[in-house]
């Protein structure tokens, strides 16, 4: 069973999109490296031994990702890699041509992309355009084409995520690349959710920069990579020892990198079998939940190959997502809302709003994500709990509404 001991009860973990447990092989590889001495930048034998381990890990990741070893730049994780891509490509392109101040992205990106974009707009006079998506969360390619063709010479880069972290929609990355490259515009993709879930090949897809991170695919926290073509200029954000092609200075974390490489290799190798297994569990979960809660609606794309296999994002009318989350948590079921919380005030998901959902629907949603430890027991636990939980959440919402009416009456 995919039960993780947490406090007084066992938890059915259905939040693998947030982080998935480390695979045993990655734990073993990382643990063995933790006892080794040496800085990989040192010239003595101990340093060279660690450097060899790092470079072998780089080669392992490159084989799995369909890129060259020299294109793998290690970072502290997905957020740093996204920042490095968005800011680094923008600054480098603008330095080459001061007209290139526009950045095109989508309204459904992860905040690791959206927040750097907003920062560039506020502090670096970038002209950020967030393109719309349809009701399934899929990018409007005609809007992208029109935005580029309006003034292609002013576009610094395009950034479009591979798979959405909330609703699971897979974006048409190959088509985005084709449109952008026709105008010599580089493309970055945040593939944090996609690697190990769907086929991802850096060379084949044609992107210029790609983000991945370890803890989403069975590796440790605190390590990730930006895969970036050798002929693409990226302005560094960290300055120091000149490590990682002088793109990302800092002593690399060899034990974490070994665990990362092990996890990437296994996740990519096992991807077809993994996708078939968890998508079957996911489809069963959606069907059985909707049998228990007739008006529950599935969000995101349902077309073949257009959804991450372990993602089930459901809306429960008349409920608050946060209430559902806490009620399920009390029953030992770990899941997630699609909302962000600012200063303790729940906010509707920017992804669902961009997809055309109203605020009430956006607030009443839950994300169930399955992973390599998920089992039938996890699905059964959700199905058993969801009816009573939704009934209780709806009753609480009605009571809260009556209380609010009395206060304002």
Q: Which residues have a catalytic role annotated? A: 341
Q: Evaluate whether 195 touches 226 at the Cβ level (below 8 Å).
A: no
The contacts of residue 61 (CB under 8 Å, 6+ apart) are: 69, 72, 225, 260, 261, 264, 265
Q: Evaluate whether 112 touches 191 at the Cβ level (below 8 Å).
A: no
Q: CA torsion, points 353, 213, 221, 306, in degrees to nearest 10?
A: 50
Name the residue among 268, 266, 259, 234 with its Cα closest to residue 80. 234
Q: Evaluate whether 40 touches 254 at the Cβ level (below 8 Å).
A: yes
Q: Which residues pair with 301 in a beta bridge?
A: none
């Amino acid at each position: 069973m995919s039960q993780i001991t947490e406090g007084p009860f066992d938890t059915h973990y259905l939040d693998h999109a947030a982080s998935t447990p480390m695979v045993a092989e990655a734990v073993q590889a990382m643990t063995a490296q933790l006892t080794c001495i040496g800085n990989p930048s040192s010239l003595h034998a101990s340093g060279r031994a660690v450097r060899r381990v790092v470079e072998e890990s780089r080669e392992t990741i490159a084989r799995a990702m369909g890129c060259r070893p020299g294109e793998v730049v290690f970072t502290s994780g997905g957020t740093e890699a996204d920042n490095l891509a968005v800011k680094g490509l923008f600054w480098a392109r603008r330095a080459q041509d001061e007209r290139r101040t526009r950045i095109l992205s989508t309204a459904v990106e992860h905040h690791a992309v959206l927040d750097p974009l907003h920062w560039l707009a506020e502090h670096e006079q970038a002209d950020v355009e967030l393109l719309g998506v349809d009701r399934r969360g899929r990018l409007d390619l005609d809007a992208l084409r029109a935005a580029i063709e309006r003034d292609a010479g002013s576009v610094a880069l395009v950034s479009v995520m591979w798979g959405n972290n909330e609703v699971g929609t897979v974006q048409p990355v190959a088509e985005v690349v084709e449109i952008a490259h026709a105008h010599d515009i580089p493309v970055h993709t945040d593939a944090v959710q996609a690697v190990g879930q769907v086929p991802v090949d850096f060379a084949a897809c044609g992107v210029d920069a790609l983000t991945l991170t370890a803890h989403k695919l069975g590796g440790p926290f605190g390590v990730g990579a930006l895969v970036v073509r050798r002929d693409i200029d990226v302005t560094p954000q960290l300055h120091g020892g000149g490590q990682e092609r002088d793109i990302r200075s800092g002593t690399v974390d060899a034990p974490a990198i070994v665990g990362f490489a092990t996890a990437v290799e296994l996740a990519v190798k096992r991807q077809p079998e993994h996708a078939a297994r968890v998508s079957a569990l996911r489809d069963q979960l959606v069907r059985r939940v909707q049998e228990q809660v007739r008006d529950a609606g599935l969000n995101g794309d349902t077309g073949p190959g257009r959804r991450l296999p372990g993602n089930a994002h459901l809306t429960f009318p008349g409920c608050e997502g946060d209430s559902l989350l806490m009620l399920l948590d009390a029953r030992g079921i770990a899941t997630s809302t699609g909302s962000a919380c600012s200063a303790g005030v729940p906010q509707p998901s920017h992804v669902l709003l961009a997809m055309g959902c109203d605020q009430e629907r956006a607030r009443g949603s839950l994300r169930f994500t399955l992973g390599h430890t998920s089992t039938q027991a996890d699905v059964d636990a959700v199905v058993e709990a969801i009816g009573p939980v939704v009934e209780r959440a709806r009753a609480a919402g009605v009571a809260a509404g009556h209380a609010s009416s009395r206060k304002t009456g």
